[in-house]
Structure 1
Amino acid sequence: MSPAQTPKNLQRGWIIPIGGGDRKVRSSPILQRLVELSGGADARMVIIPTASQLETAGQRTADVFKELGVTNIEILDIETRADCENPEILEKLDAATGVFMTGGNQLRLATTIGGTSAAKSLRAGNARGVHIAGTSAGAAFVCEHMIAIGKSGGTPKRGMASLAPGLGLTNRVIVDQHFRERDRLGRLMTALAYNPFATGIGVDEDTAAFIGPDDVIEVFGSGGLTIVDPSEIEFSSMADTNMGAPVGLIGVKLHILLAGDRYDLNTRKAFPIGSE
């Protein structure tokens, strides 16, 4: 599944995986930046709380956007695949300038929205300029290759991560969230060992990777962004390793980026804040 094709003379919207820690995100510049990109006070924000089982998840997020000056806010209670075919819901998705997916369980997002008209609307919207953000589970879901479940630990092991199809806004990256807080380097590297084409992005809490239409990532927030580049892997023992056993990887590149740093997914080069 490739990202939807960007219409001629238009620019793809930003893709914004956020590492979680929703209480911290409220006081950070991350959602402020999303609102600015989406039109400021004129933004038309759509909130999708599908991943969460908390009835208040959507309204809590709406309250934050109200504090940031947004008045046009829609909470879409998408609970079933039938909801994803509802013309009223699709109309609201098509009218959005910004979309925010809450945290929870990314498999709930994938099994409810994946392959539906709502998913097609989100993909087409991002291709024509709608900015789509997700925190925690929502962050994992933005990719084509989504980490569905996995175990903590610093060493990659066969079977440590299970992949499932995500929303498919980008096929350039695999995202893991709550990264340093939950010790997820091993499972991200395991996922990349299965698919060395993609770049791994480990997003700490209160941190976001703003992936621009030019495929350059800008870092916002108080934590770090771990970039794992498997493009020059010289050796991987994945194919010959037993289930649950450690996996050897040689030639992997790793970067730790902080607020203001950038990473170019095309050239696979990292740039510190203030550099050209």
Structure 2
Amino acid sequence: MIQHATAYFFTDGNPLRLSTVLGGTPVAQAIRRGHARGKVVAGSGHAGAFLAEHMIAHAEKRSLPERGIVRFAPGLGLTNRVIFVADYTREAWYGPLCVAVAANPFLLGVGIHANAAVVLHPGNLLEGVGAVAAALANGSGITHTNLYEVPFGQSVAIEGIEFQQLPHDHYYNIDQRGLHEEENILAEPARSSF
């Protein structure tokens, strides 16, 4: 039955529960196959974090990065290039987002504020949507971190992480790590929305 759906939408506020219930099941496989065929898969709030391959399963809200404040779990696996934080505020989520990106600089950290959303288009193109901008944490320029050297609970040094804002009607190329304003850069319709 699920393979006949035209789109999939997740609303649960607990991404770890989604991962635990759906991970490795025929339902998850059907959703991934549908996504590969062009069906839209979307998630609101914390459920959006589940859509990516790498997911923050638990995070202690901190304004500074500290070792041990983030726990990871596998998500649905629609993209392996981003990791999401919902209800992003700098005061609560800056630390966890920095730690997540320092742990794997290949990932683009995306902090989604209330009244904001992002759409992932084919070709790893992220579109900003909504009344406020999404926060982007780019770790591709990290030159040093002591994340795995300091004791748990201690502040982490991260050199070279870059933060940007992705406002409405702007696009971010994940592969090139850069912002674009042009609408005509979209070659195909969206398939994922967070």
TM-score higher than 0.5: yes
Following superposition, the deviation at residue 103 of structure 1 comes to: 3.1
User: Counting strand residues as a fraction of each chain, which structure ranks higher?
Assistant: 2
Partner of 1:150: 59
Q: 1:213 to 1:274 in 2, by over 3 A?
A: closer
Tell me if 1:208 matches 2:107: no
Following superposition, the deviation at residue 275 of structure 1 comes to: 9.4
Tell me if 1:251 matches 2:145: no
User: SS at the partner of 2:148?
Assistant: helix
1:136 aligned residue (35, 45, 55): 45
Following superposition, the deviation at residue 247 of structure 1 comes to: 0.5
Partner of 1:196: 105
Following superposition, the deviation at residue 274 of structure 1 comes to: 7.1
How many percent identity over aligned positions?
34
Deviations 1:178-232 (A, max 9, x none): 0028721110111111111111111111211100012111111112211111011
1:228 aligned residue (114, 137, 142): 137
Q: Which runs of 5+ in 1 are unaligned?
A: 1-90
Matched-pair contact (CA < 8 Å) for 1:158–1:244? yes
Matched letter for residue 198 of structure 1: L
In structure 2, what is the Cα distance between the partners aligned to 1:272 and 1:252?
23
In structure 2, what is the Cα distance between the partners aligned to 1:175 and 1:258?
16
Following superposition, the deviation at residue 158 of structure 1 comes to: 0.4
Partner of 1:32: none
Runs of 4+ aligned residues of structure 1 deviating over 6 Å after TM superposition are 273-276
Q: Which moved more, 1:170-179 or 1:190-199?
A: 190-199
Q: What does 1:56-135 align with in structure 2 at a 5 Å threshold?
A: 91=1, 93-135=2-44
Q: 1:223 to 1:242 in 2, by over 3 A?
A: same
1:159 aligned residue (64, 68, 77): 68
Matched-pair contact (CA < 8 Å) for 1:238–1:248? yes
How many residues end up aligned between the 2 structures?
185
Q: Which runs of 5+ in 2 are unaligned?
A: 186-194
RMSD in angstroms over aligned alpha carbons? 1.6
* TM-score, reference length from structure 2: 0.90
In structure 2, what is the Cα distance between the partners aligned to 1:216 and 1:224?
16
